[in-house]
A and B are shown apart, each in its own frame.
Chain A
Amino acid sequence: MQSEVNGIFVAAHELKAPLSLMRQLALSLDPNNPTEIKEYQAKMVTVSERALRQVSDLTKIARLEDGLFAMEPVAVRGVCDEVTSELKYLFRSNKKQLRVKYSNHQKLVIANRDLLHSVVYNFCVNAIKYSDSSTTSALTVSDHQNGDASSVRILVRDFGPALPKDIYYKLVHNQLEAPTGISFRPDSSGLGLYIATKFSRFMHANVGAIRHRDGTSFYVELPVSNQGTLFA
């Protein structure tokens, strides 16, 4: 019950930021300045879309057990292209940059397209929040081999404050059972990471992080779908 209450508190806190910003943008609008109206309108759309996605992700978490999210072969690059194109404006308006590098030969993974989209989206939004303006975050997709198991790794590297050690150990030991409280990283409840972890686990994917002295890399490793070989 306590963790449920904490979860609601954290989700509410996380949604307060975009709503407060929307309100402030609306109040700041000068009706006599058409250029400003256009600029503020674009900002409001971006901020509201981000909040809507968060609400939508929370709804999905509540319904994960309902069997609504079928696993299927998914083209990784397609999902990453969708996310980066969706976030192009958000990166630009925050004066941040993202470099995308595909070096994977395996094209299909076993995943749910919607959930994978959310995982990559949350990693990228995290990079927007925590990277310094002068740095360029990176989204890298590469092949991985662990014994007989082949997987594709999607990794997002940011350059900002390093992930706190306690959260890092919780993540790598699969103990991230709830959002981590507002002191985790500033202006964040860790909700995005919690959502990404929850969705990754549902897809039987391996989720993790690499601590760097000048930032953090978050990654998800998804099993390769052999269905692609049927077309070969």
Chain B
Amino acid sequence: MSRKPPLVFIIDDDEMFADCLVAAIKKGNKSAKVQTFKNAIDAMNSLSDPLPDLIFLDILLPGPDGFTFLNEITSYTDTAKIPIILVTSLELPEADLSIYGIQGILNKESMKPSEVTEYVKRYTN
């Protein structure tokens, strides 16, 4: 029986930046299926079977922000387990976000595509 390809969500309203993330994700796992959302509501509505294996989440989004998304996702037992990587230009202290189950924070100003690739390898292979 063939294994289902892993599913990765990107939630970022900057489409060009999201395209860069897609390229880096594909380098980490060629078979990964990537879904891109420009706002938290569309992403929340898509959180059904199959659930994503990994989420890259921006904080400043149109409408509800990334924190609202985090509150929503951690309130359900099944989605609370999904690893989330924040990709943001805000300076956020990692320790304060541990309650949301954040697996990592990538700063848009200093991150490298290889860091995205590493997270994909870690959580989808």
Contact = CB atoms under 8 A, between A and B. Distances in A.
Contacts of B20: 21, 24-25, 28
Contacts of A165: none
B112 to A, nearest CB: 6
B23 A186 contact: no
A110 B5 CA distance: 61
A186 B61 CA distance: 5
Given A16-B89, A20-B108, A27 B113 contact: yes
B97 interface: no
A168 B20 CA distance: 34
B24 A161 contact: no
The main secondary structure of chain A at its interface with chain B is helix
Contacts of A129: 13
A21 B16 contact: yes
Interface in B16-52: 16-17, 20, 23-24, 38
B13 A186 contact: yes
Interface string A204-219: 0000000000000000
A202 B25 CA distance: 48
A23 B89 CA distance: 13
B65 A24 contact: no
A43 B112 CA distance: 18
A186 B65 contact: yes
A25 B89 CA distance: 16
Interface residues of A, number: 26
B96 interface: no
A182 B60 contact: yes
A183 to B, nearest CB: 8
A24 B62 contact: no
B63 interface: yes
A160 B108 contact: no
B102 to A, nearest CB: 19
A206 B10 CA distance: 41
Interface string A85-97: 0000000011100
B63 A187 contact: no
A25 B108 CA distance: 12
Contacts of B72: none
Given A17-B14, A47-B16, A28 B89 contact: no
A91 B120 CA distance: 31
Nearest to A23: B109
B111 A24 contact: yes
A107 interface: no
Interface in A144-191: 160-161, 182, 185-187
17 contacts: A17-B89, A20-B108, A23-B109, A25-B16, A27-B112, A28-B20, A43-B16, A93-B15, A93-B16, A94-B15, A94-B16, A130-B62, A132-B38, A160-B62, A161-B62, A186-B61, A187-B60
4 smallest beta-carbon distances between A and B, as pairs: A20-B108, A186-B60, A24-B20, A20-B109
